[in-house]
Amino acid sequence: MTVPESPDATLQNALDDAFAGISQRLRGFTPQLQVHEVGTVVSVATGIARVQGLMHLGFEERVVFPGGLSGIAFNLDEEGVDVVLLGDYAHLRAGQQVQRTGRVMDVAVGEALLGRVIDPLGRPLDGGAPVATEERLPIERPAAPIMDRAPVTEPLQSGLKVIDALIPIGRGQRELILGDRQTGKTAIAIDTIFNQRDKNVLCVYCAIGQRASAVAKAVANLRKKGAMAYTVVVVAEGNEAPGLSYIAPYAATSIAEYFMEAGRDVLIVYDDLTHHARAYRELSLLLRRPPGREAFPGDIFYIHSRMLERATHLSPARGGGSMTALPIIETQAQNISAYIPTNLISITDGQIVLSPSLFGLGVLPAIDVGQSVSRVGGKAQRAAYRAVAGDLKLAYAQFEELETFARFGARLDEDTRQSIVHGKRIRACLGQSELAPVTMPAQIAILLALNAALFDLVPLEHMTQAQQAVEDAANQLPDDLGQRLTTAAQLSDADRQRLTDTARQAIAGFLPRQPSSAPPDTEDR
């Protein structure tokens, strides 16, 4: 007969087993010592902290303050280090400790970022879970060497007729968007992001110093159109510390570079670099660096050039990926010869200039075709566009000159009057609503109709409906036609005739029943 153990004996046996396991683990444990270099906060200013005691701190190394606040080391001297603060520093006090991390400032990169809204430190701003990625890249990285680059040969379709036809953008190009405030600069960039759907192009939208309401509107539009599935949004709001606004475009560029180096095509929008330059000016003055023109520091050109040079088209040996940059700059009173605009114009491969005068007249997008230029995209433009848009820019420029001359009330001959009538139809056709990108076949059909003067008999008040009719008819054409427009070395006569006939049939319903020998003149006199 077996006598059962008492409860006290069972408990004692369990404790003995636990102590034996702990003893065995302790015998195999080897302590690992970690050395942390710790300094002391001497003073705190607006976005800047003065630190002493970090004797081995490196330039642009990340440091950590109490409460998890991060900073970047900028000024290094024998008496101490000036650190740019990256976040809310209201709790920071002199005498608190600061610790080195031993690594430069970096950001999380990877596929998990697609569809997310984050700050420059990788923290989520969309209410979702923390971003889980396995790789991080420094925010400051050298640009690809010349021998690792390839020519820009592939277009990036924006979906905007005036850009794709007259100011084309290529994949790997840097095209500046500049204009006065409230002229539609962000709208052009957002429309370009919308048009990358199903085109195997990933997008990064970097909002620098923007109002929270403006960023929320942009994100809402991206979600509404389903563009967040292939877009990463990096946000540094206007009420944040200037250090966050400074590192935001560099962090966004590293995120885009990760995808580019994986062989993907990427579009990155910097909205806008005016706020970035002002944030760096504020930091430089707080760091007591010598001011230069307009109080900007001497290296203001370099902070933008070293970032935009990272946008390129990689060679096939490097994966063949590309990063197309659309930096945005805000001008004052259309002064494109100011310090920051001229810097960016000299760095980029072309510019899209927006005119407040055109915006006031309701011509949207308000792009000044005469001052806008693309120094690379013409070589990457589709052959179909080159065939139909070659004379369009010249005709539009002549119309603008004649329109100015006609305002003096001079008597015009029939040819001049016809040029003005045709030019007004060109302006109406190049106009486009926001959030309404136009497909390539529809754009070609509209441009062909313009070249054939099919719109000249359409009253101006019916131009919007006539264009929509042409667009709807062109979108019903077979897919093989769109494929030929994309890949063919030149626009064939058969395809040209087919698109022209489609446009003519669509426009027929908007022509006057008994057209006079001269075009309608309701709004042209």
Is the separation of the CB atoms in 195 and 159 below 8 Å?
yes
What is the number of H-type helices and E-type strands within the chain? Answer: 17, 16
Distance CA 203, CA 228 (A): 9
Other CB atoms within a 10 A radius of the CB of residue 256 amount to 27
Two structure tokens written together for 82: 């000036």
Question: Is the sign of the CA dihedral 218, 181, 338, 349 positive or negative?
Answer: positive
Counting Cα atoms < 13 Å in the Cβ hemisphere of 63 gives 33
C-alpha triplet 313, 273, 239: angle, nearest 5°: 130
Residue that the structure tokens 């877009």 belong to: 231
Give me the phi and psi of 418, to 5 degrees please.
Answer: -65, -40
Residue type, 314: L
324 φ, ψ to 5°?
Answer: -100, 130
Rounded Cα–Cα distance for residues 222 and 468 (Å): 23
For residue 375, indicate whether it is catalytic: yes
Alpha carbons within 13 A on the beta-carbon side of 463: 26
Taking the C-alpha atoms of residue 424 and residue 417, their distance in angstroms, rounded to an integer, is 11
Please count the CA atoms within 13 angstroms of the CA of 16 that sit on its side-chain side. 6
Distance of CA 242 to the CA centre of its chain: 20
What are the CA-CA distances from residue 478 to residues 197, 368, 449 (Å)? 20, 35, 19
CA–centroid distance for 7 within its chain: 71
Maximum Cα interatomic distance, the chain, rounded to a whole number of Å: 129
Handedness of CA 477, 480, 483, 487 (dihedral sign): negative
Q: What DSSP string describes 205-271?
A: EEEEEE-HHHHHHHHHHHHHTTGGGGEEEEEEETTS-HHHHHHHHHHHHHHHHHHHHTT-EEEEEEE
Identify which of 105, 117, 115, 343 has the alpha carbon closest to the alpha carbon of residue 231: 115
Cα distance between the two ends of the chain: 121
Candidates 141, 149, 289, 375; catalytic one: 375
Q: How many Cβ atoms sit within 10 Å of the Cβ of residue 50?
A: 17
Asked if 300 and 343 count as a contact pair (C-beta separation under 8 A), the reply is yes
Report the 3 state secondary structure along 282-309: HHHHHCCCCECHHHCECCHHHHHHHHHC
Q: Which residues are catalytic?
A: 375
